[in-house]
Amino acid sequence: MVCYSQKSLLVVVIGASGDLAKKKTYPALYALWNACLLPANTTICGFARSAKANEDFRNHLKPYLKSSKKDGGDTSRVDAFLSLCQYRKGASYGDWEGIQSILSETNCDNILIYLAIPPHVFGDSTGAVMKARKNLEAENPSNTSKGFFRVVLEKPFGHDTDSCKELLQSLSDQEWPEEELYRIDHYLGKEMVQNILTLRQHNPWLGALWNKHVIQSVHLIWKEDIGTEGRGGYFDPYGIIRDILQNHLLQVLTLVAMEPPSKWTSDEIRNAKVDVLKAMPTIELKDCLLGQYDGYKDDPTIENRETVSPTYACIQTKVNSSRWEGVPFIMEAGKALNERVCEIRLHFRGQDDGSEFDGMSQPNALVIRLQPTPKVFFTANLKTPGFSSTPASTHLGVDYESHLDDIPDAYTRLLLDVMRAQQENFVRDDELIEAWRVFTPVLHETEKNKVGPLPYARGTSGPELRQDFLNGMGVTQPWLPPASAL
């Protein structure tokens, strides 16, 4: 099998003039090029409806392409990368003739299409790309086996089960093979998310702890200390559940809860994730605590001043498998809270009679912190230094802060996976359907009945009932080191 780097590559970014492309897609491509991870013969062509000359487009991208420390601030590397970047105006996202002209003129072996566009026009673009592809294959049948043809699609993949199935059906009707589709959730490219499987696979002693007999609860937390800040018009139709829980946190949950596969291949890993989703019940309203921060409705971009869209959600669920029977899994996410953090907390059980928690010692936890700085640590009770025998709560772990320059951005890592045909970090069609099955009923119920979220003040941990809600699920609050101690 010939390595992708030995063949010519065409990257077509559809929606190239938008925010996603300039802030994420092109910086990721630059990072790969700068690390010599793109083929020597690479062409990158942006395609969008805006009229731009090549030079104008490059100037549009340049502020978002940062020289690495290794380059010593030398911008010549950025300029060299931009010389690879072209731009074409299309009549629409479904302009198959415009796309076909790009494919035919570049005539590259491998083709990667990146859809940096709103989901409601995915079908137009994928249909246009497939039509252009088939036309070229009909004109020159010998080119059909030159190399790969892959499409990257951004979330959200629908807004409920039915819309998701419609998107999947449109791709099927256009005759896209599943192995050519890469549905990207950038959380799966984060350093510590990828570390979950490494921790489990290469530390056998953890296997003895990773079960219902040792773990009391699993808490997945995503917090932002800012509100929508002028993006409320985009956020409001989705709400925090669709924006964070149904995709990012649920993806992380499946990696924590999945059974170790017999072989750590892309298919086996994704099969194991789907098995977790199938073992989860549909979420009910009684399992949810919903909130909305004070002042959210004042965002000038929100049209509905009576909106009940939640900016905070804490949801309990279960994984009905032999490993996790009876263990609550809590997904919690919110905006305008007291800190910016995303982490996984596995809370360990104590003595049955609770005798060790006598006011001096604290419950233990394994914490995998995704952001702001990647870390993994245990909370532990150790003897206070000196003559005292009183236990002191502390942490034992690994801090990735000194390695931040070596950690690639999630989009960079995932685009490299696309070229290497490594699909374990992309969402498969059956996984999407199961994920929406879990959440669709409660989403429909809250929207149909206009369930009002509880108010909470900016800079707090959420609604006042939050801790009571967690206590009701048997979720202990372990001691966690202050940020300054990490």
Which residues are catalytic, by number? 248
**Nearest-angstrom CA–CA distance, 191 and 371:** 10
Task: Give the pair of three-digit tokens for residue 178.
Answer: 């599943």
**305: Cα within 13 Å, side-chain hemisphere:** 2
Write the burial class of residue 112 (CB in 10 Å: 0-12 exposed, 13-18 middle, 19+ buried): buried
**Nearest-angstrom CA–CA distance, 55 and 83:** 9
How are strands ordered across the β-sheet holding 181-184?
A: 85-89, 42-48, 9-14, 110-115, 149-154, 181-184
| Closest by Cα among 103, 105, 107 to 95 | 103
**Distance linking the first and last C-alpha atoms of the chain:** 45
* Element (DSSP H or E) covering residue 329: strand 329-334
Q: Tokens 């959200």 map to which residue? A: 156
**Nearest-angstrom CA–CA distance, 230 and 86:** 32
| Beta-ladder partners of 340 | none
Note whether 375 and 398 are within 8 A (CB). Answer: yes
**Nearest-angstrom CA–CA distance, 357 and 348:** 13
Note whether 276 and 294 are within 8 A (CB). Answer: no
How many other β-carbons are positioned within 10 Å of the β-carbon of residue 437?
18
∠ CA(82), CA(85), CA(90), 5° rounding?
145
E strands along 15-141, which residues?
Answer: 42-48, 85-89, 110-115
DSSP 8-state class, residue 13: E
